[in-house]
């Protein structure tokens, strides 16, 4: 399987994602420069975390105008797999590839710690190695991870089972006390209707090897790999 990792000015998790694919999955991977107009033949595109264009205006607001985004939109429209992590999630919402938006954490503080996620839908290319209701531990590191959307959009996400991950405790209980940033419905990750585009705030690439203290994130990358078999 061939992966591409997009690099914007300010991306800081691109090498982490590259390492997860190259070293952990042992798959082909290349960097994609934000100013490029064309994409090489790929199976999956990763839009990594960081602070694209310094998060000026708002997170992802400038990045979605980058040259490469037109190619990514066409890639996704044809069914190509796209995963946006943290800032990548923000970029996907700004680009209209996913509904809703991300705003400042309810605490108005940057949060960096391990949290728990409950798997709400394992019938996607990004979650098929997981079980519905399974709890995984994944780190977060963001200041604007508070997912918002209007009521019709939230109802549609629930109806279409587009909510893939929610913030929970270690036993899978979901509630205000397990919500680190104020996201509506404790949303941590969603997909589009076609289920080939995923956005998530937690960082699976930061918990994909034992040396990092946890390997739960590897299951998300392995799910992508399994989907191509």
Catalytic residue among 34, 144, 205, 207: 205
- Helix/strand number for the chain, H first, E second: 5, 11
Catalytic residue among 44, 86, 191, 207: 86
Query: 50 in the Ramachandran plot: left (φ > 0), alpha (ψ -120 to 50) or beta?
Result: left
Active site residue 86: yes
Whole-number Cα distances in Å, 114 to 107, 170, 190: 17, 11, 19
Q: Is residue 105 within 8 Å of residue 145, measured between CB atoms?
A: yes
Strand partners, 147: 102
Active site residue 214: no
Catalytic residue among 17, 34, 203, 207: 203
Active site residue 94: no
Tokens of 4: 């591409």
Q: Is residue 135 within 8 Å of residue 170, measured between CB atoms?
A: yes
Helix (H/G/I), strand (E/B), else coil: 204: helix
Q: Which of 146, 84, 61, 62 is nearest to 110 (CA)?
A: 146
Residues noted as catalytic: 86, 203, 205
């Amino acid at each position: 399987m061939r992966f591409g990792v997009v690099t914007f000015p300010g991306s800081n998790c691109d090498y982490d994602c590259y390492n997860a694919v190259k070293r952990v999955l042992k798959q082909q991977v290349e960097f994609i420069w934000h100013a490029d107009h064309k994409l090489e033949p790929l199976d999956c595109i990763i839009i990594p975390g960081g602070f694209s264009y310094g998060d000026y205006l708002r997170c992802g607001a400038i990045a979605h105008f980058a040259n490469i985004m037109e190619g990514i939109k066409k890639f996704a429209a044809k069914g190509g797999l796209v995963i946006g992590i943290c800032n990548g999630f923000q970029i996907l919402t700004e680009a209209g590839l996913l509904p809703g938006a991300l705003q400042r954490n309810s605490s108005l503080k940057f949060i960096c710690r391990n949290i728990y996620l409950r798997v709400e839908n394992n019938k996607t290319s990004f979650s098929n190695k997981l079980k519905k209701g399974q709890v995984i531990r994944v780190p977060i590191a963001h200041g604007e991870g508070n997912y918002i959307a209007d009521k019709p959009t939230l109802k549609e996400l629930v109806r279409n089972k587009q909510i893939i991950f929610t913030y929970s405790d270690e036993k899978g209980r979901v509630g205000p006390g397990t919500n680190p940033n104020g996201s509506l419905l404790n949303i941590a990750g969603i997909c589009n209707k076609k289920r080939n585009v995923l956005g998530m705030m937690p960082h699976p690439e930061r918990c994909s090897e034992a040396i990092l203290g946890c390997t739960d994130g590897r299951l998300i990358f392995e799910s992508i790999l399994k989907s191509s078999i």
